[in-house]
């Protein structure tokens, strides 16, 4: 299933009662590794090599191989109960779902209009002509080219470190909308190191919930009304219950 991307104008019309913000930890129980601690490793690769906006051209082959492997892996894993829970919340409540993940497990669980602030693994882009396209779970070959003829301008349509993230505008907008006492913000499986989620919650009166495996020095637990430690797939039910009580449906 391809990931459907919404435009900013479609996004601005939305008025969420529930805002869901996920990170790599939400897909960990499906078998996709997170960035581990401070080591900066992702599937045993240095993120500075495989996700660096300054040096990606120098590491072209490594990046091609790394993301080909990630795509192949993605075809072999399945959504877990947190992805299905989020899809269920989306059907019940006026909600917005934002993910830092480049996998498509939320969509495969039934979510729609997910904002992928760091791009999508199944898509490629050509920096020579600006074209983007979906290649599903297939490999990108060493000699494959964009329709414009470029070979070395083609890369995964994901945001590397040191690059602009155009979808952040939607994320900031969503966090600025879900701030009333009746609203609910659920943060799942993110260390807060790449995106400082706490900063977007300063002054928010919404019910704020965070679920991670363990404490992170980039997340201030005092800012949250509920702090749940444990596997996201196992806390899904508890999260559903807290949200349902708060939103009152």
Q: List contacts with Zn ion (CB under 5 A).
A: 126, 128-129, 131, 146, 148, 150
State yes or no: is 45 an active-site residue.
no
**Pairing relationship of beta strands 226-229 and 45-46 according to DSSP bridges:** unpaired
* Sites of contact with ligand NAD (CB under 6 A): 23-25, 27-29, 32, 34-35, 42, 100-103, 118, 189-191, 193-194, 211-214, 216, 231-232
Report what 35 binds from ligand NAD, Zn ion, none; CB cut-off 5-8 Å by kind.
ligand NAD
Rounded Cα gap, residues 125 and 134, in angstroms:
9
Q: C-beta of 38: minimal distance to ligand NAD in Å?
A: 10
Q: C-beta of 149: minimal distance to Zn ion in Å?
A: 7
15: CB partners within 8 A, 6+ apart: 94, 177
Q: Is 148 or 196 the residue whose CB approaches Zn ion more closely?
A: 148
Q: Is 23 or 156 the residue whose CB approaches ligand NAD more closely?
A: 23
- Which tokens belong to 201? 């919650």
**Pairing relationship of beta strands 119-126 and 132-134 according to DSSP bridges:** antiparallel
Nearest 5°: phi and psi at 188? -130, 120
- Which tokens belong to 33? 């590794």
Q: C-beta of 174: minimal distance to Zn ion in Å?
A: 31
- Which tokens belong to 199? 């900063």
> Active-site residue numbers?
118
């Amino acid at each position: 299933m391809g990931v459907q991307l919404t435009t900013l104008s479609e996004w601005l019309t939305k008025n969420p009662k529930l805002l869901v913000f996920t990170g790599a930890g939400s897909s960990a129980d499906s078998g996709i590794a997170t960035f581990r601690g401070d080591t900066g490793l992702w599937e045993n690769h240095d993120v500075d090599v495989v996700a660096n906006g300054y040096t990606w051209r120098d590491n072209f082959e490594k990046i091609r191989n790394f993301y080909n492997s990630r795509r192949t892996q993605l075809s072999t894993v399945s959504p877990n109960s947190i992805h299905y829970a989020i899809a269920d919340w989306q059907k019940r409540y006026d909600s917005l779902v934002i993910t830092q993940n480049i996998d498509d497990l939320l969509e495969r669980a039934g979510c729609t209009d997910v904002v992928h602030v760091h791009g999508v693994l199944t898509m490629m882009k050509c920096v020579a002509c600006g074209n983007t396209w979906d290649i599903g779970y297939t490999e990108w070959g060493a000699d494959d080219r964009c329709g414009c003829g470029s070979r070395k301008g083609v890369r995964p349509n994901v945001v590397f470190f040191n690059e602009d993230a155009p979808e952040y505008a939607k994320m900031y907008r969503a966090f600025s909308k879900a701030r009333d006492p009746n609203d609910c913000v659920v943060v799942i499986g993110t260390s807060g190191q790449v995106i400082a989620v706490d900063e977007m919650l300063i002054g928010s009166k919404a019910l704020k919930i965070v679920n991670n495996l363990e404490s992170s020095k980039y997340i201030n637990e005092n800012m949250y009304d509920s702090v749940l430690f444990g596997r996201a797939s196992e806390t899904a039910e508890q999260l559903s219950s807290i949200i349902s009580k708060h939103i009152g449906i």
